[in-house]
Amino acid sequence: MFDDFDRREQESGELDPRWRRTCLGGGRLSMEQSRLRLELEASRQGEYSDAQIDDYGELPRRAFPWRPPLRLEVRAAFSHPAATLASTAETPGLLRGTAGFGFWNYPFSLRGDILMLPEAVWFFYASPPSNMALVPGVPGWGWKAQVVHALRPSFLTAAVPTALAALWGRLSGELRPAARWLQRLTGAQERLLEEVVLTDWHTYALEWLPSQARFFVDGSLLFTAPSPPVRPLGFVAWVDNQYAIATPRGTLRFGTIATGRQWLDLDYVRIEPL
């Protein structure tokens, strides 16, 4: 599969039929100069806004189109820089909400599917107040190469110890055991991509194999994650105004935040078997 959002698509104003378009709240999609822009107009707190394309549409999860081994390549740039370790929810001039591209299982479907444990192999961004502290030593926000693999038998054996460790962390202030159990629970592996400037054009690639997932930026291998998901996943690219908090203290919260105008530009998307 290859789509470079060419002149034919721009002249017709229609994306390739493989893509499902989602524009909610202040979200919109536009094409110019052989690029697709996923854009949020100024969004209000408490009102969800999303600009998104995906290729799973109304398919049941068992029929999602992608599974290993394959290679994804996306050339992309964002309108604003990423949050850093020093950023807060009040830091001005940052990309706000969540954004990214890659593969996932659409676990929180509202279309009638049962809720599912999350599975993902993707480049993922979140800004404060998001704090998804899934991996010890990695901040709960920022621009990341990330694998989430919760849908596995060990999830059940990790659930009770994670809850007990979170309770102990609340009582004692010692959060390291809970952090380790939270990683076991979610199967999360990730690397913060601090050296990648979001506002510059980059070629992002991931090789999703049955035994590992490898993440590249401009041809350089930056992260390798063993034992990724192997079930079928769908491609998604999006920018929205959500936040999520999931910490070793047992805090779990979701919401939306106010944003200014911001966007993700896609030059092309390529997915090919390995």
pLDDT tens by residue, 12-71: 667 888 999 999 999 999 988 889 999 999 888 989 999 999 999 888 888 999 999 999
Is the C-alpha dihedral spanning 30, 32, 37, 39 positive or negative?
Answer: negative
DSSP three-state, residue 210: coil
In eight-state DSSP terms, residue 115 is: P
pLDDT tens for each residue of 167-205: 444 554 544 554 554 556 667 899 999 999 999 999 999
Indicate if the pLDDT at residue 162 is higher than 50: no
pLDDT band at 154 (very low <50, low <70, confident <90, very high): low
- Estimate to the nearest angstrom the gap between the alpha carbon of 40 and the chain centroid: 17
The mean predicted confidence, pLDDT, of the chain is 85
Return d(Cα 71, Cα 206) in angstroms, integer. 6
- Whether 38 and 237 have beta carbons less than 8 Å apart is answered as yes
Of 188, 171, 214, 203, the C-alpha closest to 69 is: 214
**In terms of Cα–Cα distance, which of 214, 84, 217 is closest to 139?**
84
pLDDT at 165 over 60: no
Spatial distance between the Cα atoms of 33 and 115, rounded to a whole number of angstroms: 39
pLDDT at 155: 53
What's the token pair of residue 104?
A: 């996932």
Which pLDDT score is estimated for 94? 94
E strand spans, the chain: 2-3, 20-24, 27-32, 35-40, 50-54, 70-78, 98-104, 119-126, 131-132, 142-149, 189-192, 202-208, 212-217, 220-226, 234-240, 242-246, 252-256, 262-273
| Whole-angstrom distance, CA of residue 64 vs CA of residue 232 | 5
The radius of gyration of the chain's CA atoms, rounded to the nearest angstrom, is: 18
pLDDT tens figures, 98-118 = 999 999 999 875 554 546 778
* Residue entry with tokens 């509202």: 110
Percent of the chain predicted with pLDDT > 70? 80
List, in order of start, the domains of the chain with CATH numbers: 58-152+187-273 (2.60.120.200)
Question: CA 228, CA 17: separation in Å to the nearest integer?
Answer: 29
Whether the pLDDT of residue 246 is over 60: the answer is: yes
Confidence of residue 161 (pLDDT cuts 50, 70, 90): very low
Contact 139, 85 (CB under 8 A): yes
Where residue 233 falls among pLDDT bands split at 50, 70, 90?
A: very high
Q: How many C-beta atoms lie closer than 10 Å to residue 97's C-beta?
A: 24
In this prediction, residues 119-123 reach a mean pLDDT of 96
Q: Is the per-residue pLDDT at 3 higher than 70?
A: yes
* Number of residues assigned to the chain: 274
Residue 177: the pLDDT is 52
List the one residue out of 245, 236, 230 whose CA is nearest residue 182.
Answer: 245
Question: CA 228 from chain center: how many Å?
Answer: 15
